[in-house]
Structure 1
Amino acid sequence: MAGYAIAHLRTPTANDEVFEYLERIQATLDPFNGRFLVHGGALDVLEGTWPGAVVVIEFPDTDSAHSWYDSAAYQAILPLRTGNIEADAVIVAGVGPAYDASSTAAAMRAQINGAS
Structure 2
Amino acid sequence: MPKGYVIGHITVENPEAYQEYIRRDTPMIAAYGGRPIVRGGTGEVAEGPDFARHVVFEFPDYESAKALYYSPEYQEVARIRRENATSMIVLVEGV
Q: Take 1:36 and 1:14, find their aligned partners in 2: how far apart are those partners?
A: 22
TM, length-normalised to structure 1: 0.72
Give the paired residue count. 94
CA RMSD of aligned residues (A): 1.7
**How does the TM-score come out when normalised to structure 2?**
0.86
Unaligned residue ranges in structure 1 (runs of 5+): 96-116
Distance 1:61-1:51 versus aligned 2 partners, 3 A rule: same
Structure 2: distance between partners of 1:26 and 1:48: 27
Q: Secondary structure at the match of 1:38?
A: strand
Report which structure shows greater RCO (CA 8 Å, sep ≥6).
2
Give CA-to-partner distance per residue, 1:42-89, whole Å, 9 cap, x none.
Answer: 014445663311110110111000000111221121111011111111
Aligned to 2:51: 51
Give the number of the structure whose residues are more often strand, by fraction: 2
Unmatched tracts of structure 2, length 5 or more = none
Q: Percent of pairs identical after alignment?
A: 36
Tell which structure's C-alpha radius of gyration is larger. 1
